[in-house]
Structure 1
Amino acid sequence: MAKTSSALMMLLSAFWLNGCSQQSGDAYLDSAKVALLGTPDIDLSADKIASVPYASAYLTVGDLPRAFVVLAYAEQQQLKWVSADRNLFVMQQGRWVKTIGLAVNLAHIQSEQPDPLADGLHIDGASWHWHAVWDKDYTSGRDLISRFKVLGPEQIDVGPTKRSLLAVEEAVSEAQGRFSYRNRYWLDPKTGTVIQSRQQLGPDLPPLLFTQLKPHSPKES
């Protein structure tokens, strides 16, 4: 998909209007509205997921209700997921590299080294030096160090099914030691592809829980 189509946005709107989610506007990013409206987590059947003509996923921001997102763009090794309220979440090789629409957005990341997530089956013991920039906090960016450890197989709910995935922990620390946090990834044990992840976008920011429901096919690009 070279660009977001009107059909895609109409499809998303239909899902929300038909009760697949009670969310409207930016309600899922506003905890006060969520508490007031009592918005439930979206939970789609296997048939409903299969009927969507796009790659799709669940995405949860912090403690807010789970949203359904679809793939709007696939270009330059980046998958760009869009929610019904048109917030954008950009993923590369299983890692969030940019967001648009959150209270504090990840502006971009960069590194002279390849991300170890690109070779997930050989990630155990890997370390990675990278730089991240946010749009409101730490706008000049921070130098970060990631260290990876394979934890072993785990049974994970992937939408309506359960899968045995390889759990990987990423310990992220700021180069000057001013903050640290941990991310968790669950990889396909045959391909190393990230199927589910719980990633923090930066210090003091809520984690994003992502679960791939319907994978991207190159023919969609």
Structure 2
Amino acid sequence: MTYFRSALLILFVFFLSGCSQRFQDVNSTLDEALFGFDDFTHDREYVAGLPYASMYVRINQGPQLFMVLAYAETNPVTGNTQLKWFSSDKAMITTENGRIVKTNRLPGANLVGLSSSTQLAVPTSDTIAWQAEYDWQPNYHFSQRAQVESYPVGTGVTKSLLWEKQTRHIKEVVTFNHSQQVMENNYWIDERGSVVKSHQQLIPHLLEIEFEVLKPYVE
């Protein structure tokens, strides 16, 4: 059994290495992600004792997932750090400045990419408008351009399994140019400017994801 687990882990790491430039604690992280976690809620002591970043995720209002950070690498286009989070069934969510920019192996639909001329900046308290471009599957929806309006909603206290913080609530309204379909994103940002919680709509009527950062990535 130990040999099988090790062999499967090695194969999975080789599979991922083609699309990654650097990684941290891959062996321990993927071992937990592959063999240790299902859809569940852990107690505070267990999560606090894990040596790597983690978060709770809910997809399309489904059951809560536990995801761990396997890769942190630089986006060569924007210069921002992208974080790649994995679940126990090998689903992956990629975030950049707190925004979900790509998903893999999710049931039903996946965001192939999210890009913008504004370099996907951290959601801000300023009222701003910018343009984004979405690509998604199924049915080959590529280069779906949208107008994004971002504005502050207020401040308050946000609680997690491991922490309690004063946060700013930022709302974004995404309107697609061609179809005029509208989506809404909500972010809760701490005093350091990091997104600690969010509810993002990524594909109209097909994909929405909530996440709550438990242990943040520390560069």
For this structure pair, what is the TM-score category when the shorter chain's length is used for normalisation? 0.7 to 0.9
Partners of 2:121 and 2:148 in 1: CA distance = 9
- Cα deviation, residue 172, structure 1: 0.6
**Counterpart secondary structure, 1:140:** strand
**Conservation of the 8 A alpha-carbon contact between 2:96 and 2:120:** no
Q: Percent identity?
A: 27
Higher-RCO chain (CA-CA 8 Å, sequence separation at least 6) = 1
- Cα deviation, residue 45, structure 1: 2.7
**Counterpart secondary structure, 1:7:** helix
Partners of 1:109 and 1:124 in 2: CA distance = 21
- Cα deviation, residue 160, structure 1: 4.4
- Cα deviation, residue 207, structure 1: 1.5
Partners of 1:13 and 1:138 in 2: CA distance = 30
- 1:88-110 Cα offsets, whole Å, 9 max, x none, are 10000110111001121111122
Counterpart selection for 2:178 from 176, 183, 197:
176
**Counterpart secondary structure, 2:159:** strand
Match of 1:112 in 2: 117
Q: Which amino acid aligns with 1:74?
A: A
TM-score of the aligned structures, taking structure 2 as reference length = 0.80
**Counterpart secondary structure, 2:141:** coil
User: Does 1:159 find its partner at 2:161?
Assistant: yes
Q: Which amino acid aligns with 1:104?
A: A
Match of 1:5 in 2: 26
Partners of 2:174 and 2:119 in 1: CA distance = 16
**Counterpart secondary structure, 2:51:** coil
Match of 2:134 in 1: 132
Q: Which amino acid aligns with 2:126?
A: D
Match of 1:206 in 2: 207
**Conservation of the 8 A alpha-carbon contact between 2:33 and 2:86:** no
Match of 1:29 in 2: none
Q: Which amino acid aligns with 1:64?
A: G
- Cα deviation, residue 177, structure 1: 4.9
Partners of 1:87 and 1:57 in 2: CA distance = 14
- Cα deviation, residue 164, structure 1: 2.3
Counterpart selection for 2:89 from 65, 85, 90:
85
Partners of 2:89 and 2:24 in 1: CA distance = 17
Partners of 2:178 and 2:156 in 1: CA distance = 34
Higher strand proportion? 2
**Conservation of the 8 A alpha-carbon contact between 1:183 and 1:198:** yes
- Cα deviation, residue 127, structure 1: 1.1
- 1:70-128 Cα offsets, whole Å, 9 max, x none, are 001000110000001111100001101110011211111222223242xx4x4421111
Root mean square deviation of aligned Cα: 1.9
Match of 2:16 in 1: none
Partners of 2:140 and 2:130 in 1: CA distance = 20
**Counterpart secondary structure, 1:54:** coil
Say how many residue pairs are matched.
Answer: 191
Partners of 1:9 and 1:68 in 2: CA distance = 13
Match of 2:195 in 1: 194
Query: Which ranges in structure 1 are unaligned for 5 or more consecutive residues?
Result: 24-41
Partners of 2:103 and 2:175 in 1: CA distance = 21
**Conservation of the 8 A alpha-carbon contact between 2:98 and 2:195:** yes
**Conservation of the 8 A alpha-carbon contact between 2:60 and 2:208:** yes
Partners of 2:35 and 2:92 in 1: CA distance = 19
